[in-house]
Structure 1
């Protein structure tokens, strides 16, 4: 029998469902009889509870469950027959007024369908494609970072002044208008000069001091300082330097290379290993940057209406994600935090729009992730770990992790497909520029 689908709005539809009252009653009676075999009631043996008691206690609940099940089945069947792609859950209510026929109960199901996605001419899409290379300077900088990670400190003589690279231990007290403020006092506080952990003015005040020396200097907090109570205000700090330690960096030699797991032990092999790892990182960052540019271009050339149900579902997921993030930060009652939905409305709409556009492009151009692509992607990811074979097994042992890898490969396929057709402008970034992004 043909299903009558009424169009309410661009994507909103309505259909009427009819159920046989006799079938509903028959199913309710059947479930209550099955329930009576196990239900317990005071004064009756199990399985001997009268049906009148069972019906009184559970009749409403069972009838509600049967109606839900039958209406759901009827809706799914009607949607299938009408070849509708339903977006989100339908809103189903009992139809007001008399039933269509005697012995029937009528319901109205209001729902949304997936939109038709029109992707414009990709040759009109403009995409900036970046590339970058690993320079010798980048390798040098990485070597310096590795040296700093393994540095040691030795105490300077009392008559030597603190300078950049030294670790200083200080006692300090800050006052604003002569009054100490919260967070402005510490004992035995350590930091390394020149590494930017402290405000620049504070570091300049400490630099040049010697062990045992005390000094008072003014400091104006930036207007955007994270401590709102002192932001933009001037404080006076009394600082006493109790210890100065100079840093000792290990030499870059065979011993240093071996300490980093380079079996061959040569500095050349160390630099080659660093270059290989940096090239892998550059590849992933370039791909992520170009993928983002492609997705932005895709959204601009596509036309579609957004199902409100999908957007609302995405908003709820983003809110849950925000609450989970607050919880990880130790915020009390984060799961009950009032987070306004409008904060995520624009982001949710963009995600849904992009998801629908990508799905259409994948479907119409057969860009699905192939098993061999997924395997190659996982093996490449695993190379940055000490035991790559274990990482590969870890991915393939869990469907959810495998699905995440497939999603990445699919997006890579879409990126390559669009870049091959769009107006592409190439831009070379330095290693530092790419890492900063």
Structure 2
């Protein structure tokens, strides 16, 4: 077997591989000899089928296997000796298309090698990380929101009209074509107007009613309603309003704290303060991460594989197009052209991706099985009732696991760099942090 270099231009590599017919034939005979003891054929005892007959019957298939194994072996040996790491799957083509058994096989191999990534002096990177303390006003605001979510309802003044957000207590009976239907009746039902918990139009029809009033509300069931016998039908609900109640936030006291799992109000305030500061820390990390990536982008320059940049630019263009056209769910749309802006962003992403991967490899950064499993479980919670199926799907899908693992790996590499860089902390206001976060979103 002979490997000859045909191209070495920047990151582009090209080679021809010549596989002698004698080597391929020997590999086929080796496979046949290995399988012969287990093969039975009419007219022959098991293990006694002549190799010539086996070759006639199984030779073409085994020749294909021998070719593939030889090419893969030659390519892997070359990559091991050269140290090249292909940016994408190498392109392999058979060049003597008129090949017939007994001829040598000639194959061309081409790929783009991943570049050598320069070292970075992390200690020379100077960063500022914002810190924000949870002030009393923020804790009070959070407490008010909790009290609002734990609200009670109290009777409005007699004769008051129900408003959006009020609770009406009603008896109702629904009919379609004058006939009552299953599930269309209830007594003493507490309904919050504006909660959208009933058929569209039902709650709107009760805005303005008073306690003691009777009212017929006409609605049309949606075409995709879960009960086929009601889908698209018009119904009339006869309602008796027993009470109209206005929302009253819960009192901010120890009882409220206990509703949210705290021992008392002070303990709840401490929990809120910790949660707020954790949220601030997450936002501050995102800002610091962007600053770090900007610094890394400026610190190093190296040649990038054009195929990776082109593929990334295409993905960016495709993603942005779908964001601008949210009604198009599939891929049945016009061809999306990449722009200079897409390519510029792709260059940054590919460059930083290769750099972070190299840094992580040298630092022996690993994503543990426990970390990956936890991340999969977190995503599975988005699929209510199908968590197990999602978890099993990911376990069987290597590409999906890689997609979930990649951001975990990146964050661990970023934390590794943070630990080596010159990072100073600066206490700022919540508003300053918010402005910094908004600036990230605008870029």
SS of aligned partner of 1:430: helix
TM-score, scaled to structure 1: 0.59
SS of aligned partner of 1:86: coil
Q: 2:274 aligns with which of 267, 273, 276?
A: 276
Distance 1:149 1:44 in 2: 83
- Seen in structure 2, the aligned counterparts of structure 1 residues 350 and 49 have a Cα distance that, compared at 3 Å, is farther
Corresponding residue of 1:68: 68
Tell me how far 1:269 sits from its aligned partner.
1.2
Corresponding residue of 1:135: 135
SS of aligned partner of 2:89: strand
Distance 2:408 2:192 in 1: 41
Residues 57-107 of structure 1 deviation map (CA, whole Å, 9 limit, x = unaligned) = 5433321221111111111212222332332222122345999xx985443
- Seen in structure 2, the aligned counterparts of structure 1 residues 56 and 245 have a Cα distance that, compared at 3 Å, is farther
SS of aligned partner of 1:89: coil
Distance 2:335 2:131 in 1: 39
SS of aligned partner of 2:69: helix
Corresponding residue of 1:30: 30
Distance 1:59 1:320 in 2: 46
Corresponding residue of 1:86: 86
Corresponding residue of 2:417: 414
Whether 1:20 and 2:23 are equivalent positions in the alignment is no
After TM superposition, the structure 1 = structure 2 runs for residues 124-163 of structure 1, keeping only pairs within 5 Å, are: 129-154=129-154, 156=156, 159-162=159-162
Residues 123 and 422 of structure 2 are in contact (CA less than 8 Å); yes or no, is this contact kept in structure 1? no
Whether 1:113 and 2:113 are equivalent positions in the alignment is yes
Tell me how far 1:28 sits from its aligned partner.
1.3
Residues 138 and 431 of structure 1 are in contact (CA less than 8 Å); yes or no, is this contact kept in structure 2? no
Distance 1:270 1:164 in 2: 31
RMSD, matched Cα: 5.5
TM-score, scaled to structure 2: 0.58
Corresponding residue of 2:297: 299
Residues 134 and 431 of structure 1 are in contact (CA less than 8 Å); yes or no, is this contact kept in structure 2? no
**Structure 2: 5+ residue stretches without partners:** 170-188, 197-203, 216-238, 379-394, 396-400
Tell me how far 1:367 sits from its aligned partner.
5.0
SS of aligned partner of 2:72: helix
Tell me how far 1:110 sits from its aligned partner.
1.0
SS of aligned partner of 1:79: helix
Residues 24 and 67 of structure 1 are in contact (CA less than 8 Å); yes or no, is this contact kept in structure 2? yes
Residues 140-174 of structure 1 deviation map (CA, whole Å, 9 limit, x = unaligned) = 222223223322335545632456753589xxxxx
Distance 1:273 1:117 in 2: 45
Distance 1:321 1:35 in 2: 51
- Seen in structure 2, the aligned counterparts of structure 1 residues 34 and 409 have a Cα distance that, compared at 3 Å, is same
Residues 368 and 410 of structure 1 are in contact (CA less than 8 Å); yes or no, is this contact kept in structure 2? no
Distance 1:140 1:40 in 2: 84
Distance 1:426 1:302 in 2: 30
The farther-off stretch of 32-41 and 336-345 is 336-345
- Seen in structure 2, the aligned counterparts of structure 1 residues 83 and 22 have a Cα distance that, compared at 3 Å, is same
Tell me how far 1:292 sits from its aligned partner.
2.3
Residues 254 and 266 of structure 1 are in contact (CA less than 8 Å); yes or no, is this contact kept in structure 2? yes
SS of aligned partner of 1:17: strand
Residues 250 and 256 of structure 1 are in contact (CA less than 8 Å); yes or no, is this contact kept in structure 2? yes
Corresponding residue of 1:288: 286
Distance 2:20 2:142 in 1: 74
Residues 124 and 422 of structure 2 are in contact (CA less than 8 Å); yes or no, is this contact kept in structure 1? no
The farther-off stretch of 152-161 and 407-416 is 152-161
Corresponding residue of 1:174: none
Q: What number of residue pairs does the alignment pair up?
A: 349
Residues 162 and 209 of structure 1 are in contact (CA less than 8 Å); yes or no, is this contact kept in structure 2? yes
Distance 1:168 1:305 in 2: 68
After TM superposition, the structure 1 = structure 2 runs for residues 203-352 of structure 1, keeping only pairs within 5 Å, are: 209=208, 211=210, 245-262=245-262, 265-311=263-309, 346=343, 349-352=347-350
Residues 356 and 413 of structure 2 are in contact (CA less than 8 Å); yes or no, is this contact kept in structure 1? no
SS of aligned partner of 1:92: strand
Distance 1:135 1:207 in 2: 42
Whether 1:354 and 2:352 are equivalent positions in the alignment is yes
After TM superposition, the structure 1 = structure 2 runs for residues 356-395 of structure 1, keeping only pairs within 5 Å, are: 356-361=354-359, 367=363, 369=365
Distance 2:14 2:127 in 1: 41
- Seen in structure 2, the aligned counterparts of structure 1 residues 121 and 255 have a Cα distance that, compared at 3 Å, is closer
- Seen in structure 2, the aligned counterparts of structure 1 residues 272 and 431 have a Cα distance that, compared at 3 Å, is farther
Corresponding residue of 1:177: none
Corresponding residue of 2:11: 11
- Seen in structure 2, the aligned counterparts of structure 1 residues 130 and 191 have a Cα distance that, compared at 3 Å, is farther
Residues 19-63 of structure 1 deviation map (CA, whole Å, 9 limit, x = unaligned) = 332221111122234455556878988767665665455433321
Tell me how far 1:209 sits from its aligned partner.
4.5
Residues 317 and 337 of structure 2 are in contact (CA less than 8 Å); yes or no, is this contact kept in structure 1? no
- Seen in structure 2, the aligned counterparts of structure 1 residues 312 and 152 have a Cα distance that, compared at 3 Å, is farther
